[in-house]
Amino acid sequence: MRIGFLGLGGMGLPMALNLVRAGHEVSAWNRTSSRADAVRAAGGQVAGTAADAAEGAELVLTMLADDAAVSAVVFGDEATEGFLRALPRGAVHACTSTISVALSRRLAQAHAKHDQGYVAAPVFGRPQAAEAGQLTVVAAGAPAARARCREALEALGQTVHELGDDAPAANVVKLAGNFLIAGMMEALAEAFALGRKSGVDAAKLLEILNGGLVRSPLYQSYGTMMAQERFEPAGFKLSLGLKDMRLALAAADAAAVPMPLASLVHDHLLSGAARGWGDRDWTAMSRILSEAAGL
């Protein structure tokens, strides 16, 4: 399949490489062009612009940081030529980024006007999972568009969950999932603060609780990073976690759903960003709870 891949950050680059290894004809683009060198070395092609990557493609995948980046690459801005008009009729755009429900709906409408398919296909997993092709993908959109990109999505993830015809539903699931992880971190950070203030080692506390009470790989992986205060290098930046909580709260507001825990997590992440911790892993939120406890 001829695939344009846009966005070669910590997640996007290994995803693009996995598509090349799966035998797809990949044309990759990134604002920082040197990031595409690895794709070329693996046998892929490098496009000069996002529009060039979409020219003649059957499928375009985007993995970009936020709404602004996705909007610029699709619709264009002062610095970027958007690919919307370059993508052939009948081709599909699968957006794997974590974006707002509102932007996802706008993308679906814009692609429909250009006789193109659109699939919201956000992914769960950190860069290590992307490298191993073990992401979890949630895909929603018209059946024909989902079928068109299924093979490519299977090259990226160990599981592809198809959610139905309404593309923004996949974005709701992604935001709900990231909120759930953030809520887990909030609870674990508070438990660690209580333990540490009471003279209990955080690693031992995690061993006891996750050994019998919880038994969760998420508690184990995130909890170990929090117990060791291993916040760099970031697998998922605190600034991106803050963005996701803003998107979750916006979706909740639009649906008239109170999410008080999401508001609390948002404020703790905002506090971390205000301290200049935006580039640290979002597990650094636990340090905020420790500082609040006088640790």
Q: Which of 114, 140, 165 is the last residue of a domain?
A: 165
Q: What is the pLDDT of residue 210?
A: 93
Domain total in the chain: 2
pTM confidence score: 0.94
Same domain (yes/no): 22, 78: yes
* Pair 159, 235 in one domain: no
* Whether residue 246 is found in the same domain as residue 161: no
Residue 55 and residue 199 share a domain: no
Residues 156, 12, single domain; the answer is yes
Provide mean pLDDT across the span 106-130: 97
User: Which one of the listed residues 113, 174, 197, 243 is annotated catalytic?
Assistant: 174
Give residue 184's domain range: 172-292
Assess whether pLDDT exceeds 80 at residue 81.
yes
Identify the pLDDT of residue 244: 98
My answer on whether 61 and 104 are in the same domain is yes
* Residue that terminates a domain, selected from 105, 130, 165: 165
pLDDT classification of 112: cutoffs 50, 70, 90: very high
Q: What percentage of the chain has pLDDT greater than the value 90?
A: 96
**Residue 174 catalytic?**
yes
State yes or no: pLDDT of 79 exceeds 80: no
Q: Are residues 27 and 146 in the same domain?
A: yes
How many residues make up the chain in this entry?
Answer: 295
Average pLDDT, the chain: 96
pLDDT at 77 (0 to 100): 84
* Residue 44 sits in the same domain as residue 154: yes
- Are 72 and 179 part of one and the same domain? no
**Residue 286, domain CATH:** 1.10.1040.10
Domain co-membership, 52 together with 20: yes
Give the model's confidence band at 39: pLDDT under 50 very low, under 70 low, under 90 confident, else very high: very high
| Residues whose CB falls within 8 Å of the CB of residue 179, separated by 6 or more in sequence, listed in order | 244, 245, 248, 259, 261, 262, 265
**Can you give the pLDDT at residue 80?**
80
Of 114, 145, 165, the residue that ends a domain is 165
Give the pLDDT confidence of 237-286 residue by residue, as tens digits: 999 999 999 999 999 999 999 999 999 999 999 999 999 999 999 999 99
What is the domain-level CATH number for residue 27?
3.40.50.720
Same structural domain, 8 and 118? yes
Same domain, 25 and 144: yes
